[in-house]
A and B are shown apart, each in its own frame.
Chain A
Amino acid sequence: MTPALRDLDYFGLDELLAPEDKMSRDAVRQFVEKHVMPRIEHNFATESFALTLVPAMAELGIFGANLKGYGCAGMNGIAYGLIMQELEAGDSGLRSFASVQSALSMHAIYAFGAEEQKRRFLPEMAQGKILGCFGLTEPDHGSDPAGMETRARRDGDGWVLNGTKRWITNGTLADVAIVWARVDEGIAGFLVEKGKPGFSARDIKGKFSMRASVTSELIFEDVRLTDGERLPQARGLRAPLACLNEARYGIAWGAVGAARACYNCALDYAKSRRQFARPIGGYQLVQAKLVGMLTEITKAQLVCLRLGQLKNAGKLRAEQVSFAKRNNVSEALKIARSARDILGANGIVNEYPVIRHMLNLETVNTYEGTYDIHTLILGRDITGLAAFE
């Protein structure tokens, strides 16, 4: 098995997992080993997403895996988290693709759509035949989505949509965009299908991170929508934030996968790379780095597991998700940098997966709520005093 996918279970957490959790993890790990690892460096090098992976991911049941009904697998939160972990051990861009399809797009329709919308979109989204994207962030409004400028104006029975969304994963791949816009009553969500007159999308090129994933800009110029294309249950900013919370949950798990991939690679390297006539893993400075990595990965795993238990019990608070996203991603980024350092010059080439993970994690640290914003969410939670808004 590729070092990236080799397990790391220093505290015997496997014993706490249900058989279906382990089976789901192993199935996705096999998929990543067989279909993703042989091609991921090529996709990263050529700044392309491997669309051919979509049918295989759908067959495995990854899209909307934690939703019930509508052709979805109905997995529990821990199994879902482990799926995200294995995908991200392959590549953060791959996990992003799955997160956007499942936790953002499908979840938005599942939680806030009309029954008719759910029946029309969810089964085909689970099969990967309809791809979705999630348009919340704008060029001038990232951490502050409440300031959004995209606007839907009432026009007879329908709506007219104008505005720009940016940093949208899968934007040009998507058949349907979940678009959040300002309306007279506050914030509303719309399903905007590809090909609507006035709707265009283009890719953002020149990324040094998430190169195996598509990132786009969506432009809406007088796009006419019917009332049936609005998500009826989505009222206010709480709706998109609930979707983000789902995605952040998956990211907290996913980051552990990327960190594990870097650690395993650095550990193997340190044991075989010889300098001054012995393996560099025998030197105290390198051991300190490896032990630091092991410790933080194990702590992050424990956080994830408890997060999953709380989710399964229906007791998970958004602030706890912020805690996990903030900690796990920032630690994963530090681990990736440390692994890069252990690999020396070899750490900068794509013969090893480390630099790719390191570059990807720069994005993961920023998107879905930056490290700093999650700090402020937690700060507000423990003091009762909001430092933002």
Chain B
Amino acid sequence: MKILVPTKRVPDPATNIQVLPDGLGIATENVKWVINPFDEIAIEEALRIKERLGTGEVVLAAVGQKSWQEQLRTGLAMGADRAILVLNEKALDSIAVASLLAKIVADEKPELIIMGKQAIDDDSNQIGQMLAEMLGWPQATFASKVEIKERRCTVVREVDGGLETLAFALPAVITTDLRLNEPRYASLPGIMKARKKELKEVPAESLGVELTPRLKVRALRPPSKRQAGRKVSSVAELVNLLHSEAKLI
């Protein structure tokens, strides 16, 4: 089974993010870049499916700058077979990224797409859904368990009230939640092998997709600092303050 795993490069979650003085972006000089953690879970799941079936191909995809190669190489070192980087310098709307990925899908014809439910930078949580809609494929978002038998797929997804189980036929789009698996790290021999794996670059303009953003970032600001807590002496006082000061009850 050919599995496509779209990925995004994001700042390391441990990085201390600084907003630029103009308020329109973040400082990137000292940022360490990593594969979006949810996409790492998607790569792991794709590798496990391939290992369980004993056959197949895991193809990574990304839409971004040339330097994103580095994160794709990390995915290849984890065990993915090859990667496609759609070269694009500027920030894109989700709809443009989904459209570019749809072009890759048309070319690659995977039977399954697995990707993170969202990227931890802007948390849009849109591309998996958009891509499924464009392709006319079933979608199962927030997957916490994936089972594939012949060409049928069962996904347990995490929803507000608990767990929901979906069953559908492939091809389909699955987006991964945190508890699906624990991604392996690249092994050192894997890193050496990854150097020789195919990493194809495709210019975004060559795919015939409208790339002009329709969304505009007006301002970014860091979350306001939390106020220090305060100790109260009795439950009555707490209830009173929740009513009079916090106006919560």
Q: Which residues of A contact B (CB under 8 A)?
A: 1, 6-7, 14, 19-20, 22-24, 26-27, 30-31, 59-62, 65, 72-75, 79, 83
Q: Of B123-131, B182-190, B215-223, B239-247, which binds chain A?
A: B182-190
Besides A27-B185, A60-B188, 17 other A-B contacts (C-beta < 8 A): A1-B14, A6-B14, A14-B32, A19-B70, A23-B186, A23-B191, A27-B186, A27-B188, A60-B187, A61-B187, A61-B189, A73-B188, A73-B189, A73-B191, A73-B192, A75-B192, A79-B191
- Cβ of B147 to closest chain A Cβ, rounded Å: 26
Q: Are A24 and B14 in contact (CB under 8 A)?
A: no
Q: Which of A6, A19, A31, A61 contacts B73 (CB 8 A)?
A: A19
Known: A6-B14, A7-B32. A20 touches B191 (CB 8 A): yes
Q: Are B188 and A61 in contact (CB under 8 A)?
A: yes
Residues of the A chain whose Cβ atoms lie less than 8 Å from the Cβ of B188: 24, 27, 60-62, 65, 73, 75, 79, 83
Contact with A along B174-196 (1 / 0, CB 8 A): 00000000000111111110110
Residues of the B chain whose Cβ atoms lie less than 8 Å from the Cβ of A74: 189, 192
Residues of the A chain whose Cβ atoms lie less than 8 Å from the Cβ of B73: 19-20, 23
The list of the 4 closest CB pairs from A to B, nearest first, reads A61-B188, A73-B188, A73-B189, A27-B185
Contact with A along B39-72 (1 / 0, CB 8 A): 0000000000000000000000000000001100
Closest to B12 in A: A1
Q: A60 to B14: give the CA distance in the assembly, Å.
A: 23
Q: Are A20 and B189 in contact (CB under 8 A)?
A: no
Please tell me if B77 contacts chain A, counting CB pairs below 8 Å: yes
* Interface SS majority for chain A: helix
Closest to A23 in B: B191
- Cβ of B132 to closest chain A Cβ, rounded Å: 32
Q: A59 to B191: give the CA distance in the assembly, Å.
A: 13
* Interface SS majority for chain B: helix
- Cβ of A127 to closest chain B Cβ, rounded Å: 11
Residues of the A chain whose Cβ atoms lie less than 8 Å from the Cβ of B32: 7, 14
Q: Are B70 and A22 in contact (CB under 8 A)?
A: yes
Closest to B72 in A: A19
Residue contacts A-B, CB under 8 angstroms, 6 given: A20-B195, A22-B70, A23-B77, A26-B186, A60-B185, A72-B189
- Cβ of B39 to closest chain A Cβ, rounded Å: 16
- Cβ of B191 to closest chain A Cβ, rounded Å: 5
- Cβ of B218 to closest chain A Cβ, rounded Å: 32
- Considering only residues 140-157 of chain B, those with a C-beta below 8 Å from chain A are none
- Cβ of B9 to closest chain A Cβ, rounded Å: 13
Closest to A66 in B: B188
Q: Are B192 and A20 in contact (CB under 8 A)?
A: yes
- Cβ of B178 to closest chain A Cβ, rounded Å: 16
Residues of the A chain whose Cβ atoms lie less than 8 Å from the Cβ of B194: 20, 23
Closest to A63 in B: B188
Residues of the B chain whose Cβ atoms lie less than 8 Å from the Cβ of A22: 70
- Cβ of A17 to closest chain B Cβ, rounded Å: 11
Residues of the A chain whose Cβ atoms lie less than 8 Å from the Cβ of B36: none
**Most B C-beta atoms less than 10 A away, residue of A7, A20, A72, A74:** A20
- Cβ of B71 to closest chain A Cβ, rounded Å: 10
Q: Are B185 and A24 in contact (CB under 8 A)?
A: no
- Considering only residues 60-99 of chain B, those with a C-beta below 8 Å from chain A are 69-70, 73-74, 77
- Cβ of B79 to closest chain A Cβ, rounded Å: 13
Residues of the A chain whose Cβ atoms lie less than 8 Å from the Cβ of B190: 61
Residues of the B chain whose Cβ atoms lie less than 8 Å from the Cβ of A7: 32
Residues of the A chain whose Cβ atoms lie less than 8 Å from the Cβ of B74: 23, 26
Q: A66 to B69: give the CA distance in the assembly, Å.
A: 24
Q: A365 to B195: give the CA distance in the assembly, Å.
A: 37
Closest to B74 in A: A23
Q: A1 to B32: give the CA distance in the assembly, Å.
A: 13
Residues of the A chain whose Cβ atoms lie less than 8 Å from the Cβ of B192: 20, 73-75
